[in-house]
Amino acid sequence: MKTIWIAAAETAEYGRVYLHDYAAHDAHNVGVKIMDGARREGFTGTLQDRLANLGWEIVCLRVEELP
């Protein structure tokens, strides 16, 4: 079974949204991508703080290639 880790958000307009710019082979690297962007914006808190501020979570998705 193939999986991918990705940041996800719940929005009023679109419902569940997966943020493909924040995807990686493991949760750690998704967090690194999120915090790299946060630091560029001057954010100084933790990953958990950033996720809470944005209303995001890091989730694992099963990947199935369709014909």
Residues 6 or more apart whose Cβ sits within 8 Å of residue 67: none
Single pTM value for the model = 0.88
Q: What would the pLDDT profile of 38-64 be if each residue is shown by its tens digit?
A: 999 999 999 999 999 999 999 999 999
Tokens representing 3?
Answer: 């999986």
Q: How far is CA 64 from CA 4, 12, 16, 21, 49, in A?
A: 11, 27, 19, 19, 32
Q: What would the pLDDT profile of 4-29 be if each residue is shown by its tens digit?
A: 999 999 999 999 999 999 999 999 99
d(CA 36, CA 29) in angstroms, rounded, equals 10
pLDDT given at position 1: 81
